[in-house]
Chain A
């Protein structure tokens, strides 16, 4: 008996039809696919993406070269040189490099920073074209901060209650 039903099933291509039915259903359902880069998935405010160095509203860079982020970084991705700033003798970095190939996006640097200077933005789309571009420098990081300050601040404001 079993053999007969199986024979009929395969003769009438019933399984194929069942499969195609699923396809047909999905054809008329709303799509999961996002049209990147015009569309992206929503991201948590805690998302840990590309780094940025922030400034105070008056334009002064926040980073005071305390080197805590460099010390805490488990991947040794951060390299800082510091010196008294020529103009006013304040403690400032002369070099602030992050190697994005080494970075594991753990966010420890952000946690350790006493002045909320180094932050991980929610940006995840970036690429490098040439050797060496994986190391981002202080001007690049500050530029990132300047450009995305609004979203950085908004994300931090949303998360503040849980910190």
Chain B
């Protein structure tokens, strides 16, 4: 069913040659430096980076080459000299050493001697290589040049005088991030690297320029001057703000998480990290972090010890009997999710869920199934269809894979030598998109359709018809038959079907849609009919794992919002995690006994909670997370717990024991993990059963605008929302009503007036990306909390001052 990418690459031809007298063999077309790296022969370099196109502009990698028994008279850059059979390479001959030393001296001429105040000091490639190839005394006594810095945003600090013009950052921002925001300008002494106009880098992957920069020209602004590389303890950790589970190293000092850098994992994040995962640690130290257990006594929240708090909560839950419900944050670890589910079920209730942003549970909601095509393989597809997803914001590094696919032809051998490329023949994957608004992708789309939420199902029906989907349900079959027959839809489908490997990516705008069950059925059917893999983005960071351990129910979170239980537990969630924050607030106000177990005691929590149990957040706790590909990643605690906060599993163990629920007699997390290990490796709750009926289709009333409520990139969860630097980043757009000019004119919203949207006053932005018939108001902001969810009708009028 799922199309696996066929290995279309021709068998790799190996070339035999010699380096420093040792025989070495490497694939044909590779550069000397790739072969020496594989053979672990050191060659100094600055501009070469294995994931970036070759520029060969630092000239540090000079080696001596002998071809056909004759020495090549000029130095050869190892990073840009392709290997050839019988070639002899000398990396440490007297000539090679001389060239390398001389280049080093040139590079140091203009490099300032400010290592003591440079954040790169101690982890600097220039320091390291100059230890090996530099002179101890400088012969250059003239003035060094200086360069004026640009402010390129709240995430990356610049000190461009230190730049050695390797252009790694330029190539990263262009080739990988795809935003082409940096470049090199001028010549000779005036040569500078910059953004041309002193603007903020708006890429969602911008933090990676820090890692690729070999010197201290680009450094981590959040981490600026906080610590030295040698003081930091690197703990393996993972990102938990999207379901990719990017591998990272958490750098801690005295228990405090100070920064995160990528941990290489080709299957997940390669050597990159999204800014969201890189900078979110700042949120751990927010001012409203809960550090002491609180219980409500006589209307006031008072600080108590853990024993008293647990007894109080157990007592409150007992009183509610089986009328309890639990809302779980999607980033909760599998162990905590499993224990909480066990607790809720042990008390006789089934109302637990983590899919807070989902409105349509008629098919049981998103199943938490893994991707049918692994993230790594997505980079090699020949065609893709994106349905309702701003992949760039939802999972930045999946987007990077799609971009890669769109620019590289997987059927060609990945020759890194540009000379072997016939540019006219390079045509990457065809990527199509059906979205509620025109999202800004960083790759070329082969086709794009934009439909307001109320027209989304029709658009999908039309595509399904073109794909020849029959529909196993009468309502579905009828709807498909009634759909329009469109030529371009047929072309799209043909492209998907003819591609050697193709994928359908389904995202947030589908998951959140009020008729998501229809969309899911159609998307899956289209994938099947076109022999494409079906990759539905999970509804949250650990949605796959939580589904597998059963921390969800078929009635979903909606059942809890619709009928507030007597006792409500929210586990690491905040109201802005819900599709309707107002419903979340109502549920916690209406609950007779409301327990907030989580990390942040914000005002809303303090107002409503009967008990606050301070919990640790992922880098501070042990646990297991499952990513989109079903990779189970166990994590050991990295940083210290603040105050009296405890890991959730310990709290649940105490609570379970106090309530006398069976299965809480374990000693440590290993026992819990052993219990769920079987579930984790399984396939989860699976798909919609064939017999299940689709709900009746609703049609939106004519003439009203429906809301598009994608979640802002840096508003996805409570920790990210508290990371100050991310909040200051321009990708985190202030809440606004985005609307097309026609609709704005009809509503009288032109000319700088503000809009009143269901009682909320919002600035109006005329946005050509928004189709007629809908209004794009990003979710996740306090200001938009009172608004109805994705797909719901809005009543909008101009504010008359």
Interchain nearest-CB distance for B253 vs A (Å):
9
Does A20 touch B at the CB level, under 8 Å?
Answer: no
Q: Are B116 and A64 in contact (CB under 8 A)?
A: yes
Which A residues touch B231, using CB under 8 A?
67, 70-71
Q: Knowing A64-B116, A91-B117 touch, does A71 contact B228 (C-beta < 8 A)?
A: yes
Does B230 touch A at the CB level, under 8 Å?
Answer: yes
How far does the alpha carbon of A43 sit from the alpha carbon of B224 in the complex, in Å? 42
Q: Are B228 and A83 in contact (CB under 8 A)?
A: no
For B119, the closest partner residue in chain A by CB is A91
Which A residues touch B230, using CB under 8 A?
71
Q: Mark A111-150, 1 if CB is under 8 A from B, else 0.
A: 0001100000000000000000000000000000000000
Q: Are B226 and A114 in contact (CB under 8 A)?
A: no
Q: Knowing A66-B121, A67-B231 touch, does A115 contact B116 (C-beta < 8 A)?
A: yes
Which A residues touch B224, using CB under 8 A?
83-84
Q: Are B116 and A83 in contact (CB under 8 A)?
A: no
Interchain nearest-CB distance for A9 vs B (Å):
72
How far does the alpha carbon of A66 sit from the alpha carbon of B114 in the complex, in Å? 10
Please pick, from B116, B225, B227, the residue contacting A68 in the complex, using a CB distance under 8 A.
B116
Interchain nearest-CB distance for B735 vs A (Å):
30
Q: Are B225 and A84 in contact (CB under 8 A)?
A: yes
How far does the alpha carbon of A139 sit from the alpha carbon of B387 in the complex, in Å? 61
Which B residues touch A67, using CB under 8 A?
228, 231
Q: Are A65 and B225 in contact (CB under 8 A)?
A: yes
Give A contacts to B, CB under 8 Å: 64-68, 70-71, 82-84, 91-92, 114-115
Q: Knowing A66-B121, A67-B231 touch, does A82 contact B226 (C-beta < 8 A)?
A: yes
A68-B116, A84-B225 known; 14 other A-B pairs, CB under 8 Å?
A: A64-B116, A64-B117, A65-B225, A66-B117, A66-B121, A67-B228, A71-B228, A82-B226, A82-B227, A83-B224, A83-B225, A84-B224, A91-B225, A114-B116
Q: Mark B203-226, 1 if CB is under 8 A from A, else 0.
A: 000000000000000000000111
How far does the alpha carbon of A155 sit from the alpha carbon of B535 in the complex, in Å? 73
Q: Which of B116, B224, B225, B231 has the most CB of A within 10 A?
A: B225
How far does the alpha carbon of A100 sit from the alpha carbon of B461 in the complex, in Å? 78
Q: Are A66 and B225 in contact (CB under 8 A)?
A: no
- A-B residue pairs in contact (CB < 8 Å), sample of 17: A64-B117, A65-B117, A66-B115, A66-B116, A66-B117, A67-B228, A67-B231, A68-B116, A70-B231, A71-B230, A82-B225, A83-B224, A83-B225, A84-B225, A92-B225, A114-B116, A115-B116
List the 6 closest A-B pairs by CB distance, nearest first. A66-B116, A91-B225, A91-B117, A114-B116, A67-B228, A82-B225
For A114, the closest partner residue in chain B by CB is B116
Q: Mark B105-118, 1 if CB is under 8 A from A, else 0.
A: 00000000001110
Give chain A's interface secondary structure class.
mixed
How far does the alpha carbon of A64 sit from the alpha carbon of B113 in the complex, in Å? 14
Interchain nearest-CB distance for B4 vs A (Å):
51
For A64, the closest partner residue in chain B by CB is B117
Which A residues touch B226, using CB under 8 A?
82-83
Interchain nearest-CB distance for B179 vs A (Å):
27
Interchain nearest-CB distance for B123 vs A (Å):
13
For A113, the closest partner residue in chain B by CB is B116
Interchain nearest-CB distance for B339 vs A (Å):
38
For B228, the closest partner residue in chain A by CB is A67
For B221, the closest partner residue in chain A by CB is A84
Which B residues touch A92, using CB under 8 A?
225
Interchain nearest-CB distance for B436 vs A (Å):
42
Interchain nearest-CB distance for B428 vs A (Å):
43
Which B residues touch A84, using CB under 8 A?
224-225
Interchain nearest-CB distance for A86 vs B (Å):
12
Interchain nearest-CB distance for A94 vs B (Å):
10
How far does the alpha carbon of A154 sit from the alpha carbon of B230 in the complex, in Å? 35
Which B residues touch A65, using CB under 8 A?
117, 225
Which B residues touch A71, using CB under 8 A?
228, 230-231
Which A residues touch B121, using CB under 8 A?
66
Which A residues touch B228, using CB under 8 A?
67, 71
For A92, the closest partner residue in chain B by CB is B225
For A66, the closest partner residue in chain B by CB is B116
Which A residues touch B227, using CB under 8 A?
82
Interchain nearest-CB distance for A132 vs B (Å):
19
Q: Which of A64, A70, A91 has the most CB of B within 10 A?
A: A91
How far does the alpha carbon of A68 sit from the alpha carbon of B118 in the complex, in Å? 12
Which B residues touch A64, using CB under 8 A?
116-117
How far does the alpha carbon of A53 sit from the alpha carbon of B121 in the complex, in Å? 22
How far does the alpha carbon of A114 sit from the alpha carbon of B115 in the complex, in Å? 10
Interchain nearest-CB distance for A54 vs B (Å):
15
Which B residues touch A68, using CB under 8 A?
116
How far does the alpha carbon of A46 sit from the alpha carbon of B428 in the complex, in Å? 70
How far does the alpha carbon of A71 sit from the alpha carbon of B227 in the complex, in Å? 11
Q: Which of B117, B227, B231 has the most CB of A within 10 A?
A: B117
Which A residues touch B117, using CB under 8 A?
64-66, 91
How far does the alpha carbon of A154 sit from the alpha carbon of B121 in the complex, in Å? 32
Which A residues touch B115, using CB under 8 A?
66
Beta-carbon contacts under 8 Å, B95-136 to A: 115-117, 121
Q: Which of A65, A66, A83, A114 has the most CB of B within 10 A?
A: A66
Interchain nearest-CB distance for A73 vs B (Å):
12
How far does the alpha carbon of A83 sit from the alpha carbon of B228 in the complex, in Å? 11
For A90, the closest partner residue in chain B by CB is B117
How far does the alpha carbon of A91 sit from the alpha carbon of B228 in the complex, in Å? 12
